[in-house]
């Protein structure tokens, strides 16, 4: 049996009054995982910077490849123009 089947959720009528519910933040102690917010922030920014750097590097490589292709095309056009002028 799962935990949901063993412990059903309390009915809405059991604690339906707003006065019986907590109105302030109650920290839970002793949870299975605890991480510092600052550490999580640094990790998130680090991941974003790595993704940005990988993307920029790939764009730089694509731009260099495109520039080489354009140079080859310009040389081919120059040779073709030189052949037409000789005729």
Spatial distance between the Cα atoms of 23 and 81, rounded to a whole number of angstroms: 82
Spatial distance between the Cα atoms of 85 and 87, rounded to a whole number of angstroms: 5
SS3 of 22, please? coil
Give the model confidence (pLDDT) of 18-43 as tens digits: 777 777 887 777 777 778 899 999 99
> Residue ranges per domain, the chain?
59-87
Query: Is residue 15 a contact partner of residue 21, using CB atoms and an 8 Å limit?
Result: yes
Q: Could you identify the residue written with the tokens 């604690």?
A: 15
- pLDDT above 70 covers a percentage of the chain that reads 79
pLDDT of residue 17 exceeding 90, the answer is no
Q: What pLDDT band is residue 87 in, cutting at 50, 70 and 90?
A: confident
What 8-state DSSP symbol labels residue 15? T
Q: What pLDDT band is residue 5 in, cutting at 50, 70 and 90?
A: low
């Amino acid at each position: 049996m799962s935990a949901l089947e063993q412990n059903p959720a309390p009915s809405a009528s059991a604690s339906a009054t707003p006065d019986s519910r907590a109105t302030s933040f109650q920290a839970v102690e002793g949870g299975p995982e605890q991480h510092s917010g600052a550490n999580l922030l640094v990790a998130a920014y680090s991941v974003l910077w790595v993704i940005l750097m990988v993307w920029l590097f790939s764009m730089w490589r694509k731009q260099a490849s495109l520039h080489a292709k354009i140079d080859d095309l310009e040389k081919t056009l120059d040779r073709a123009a030189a052949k037409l002028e000789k005729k």
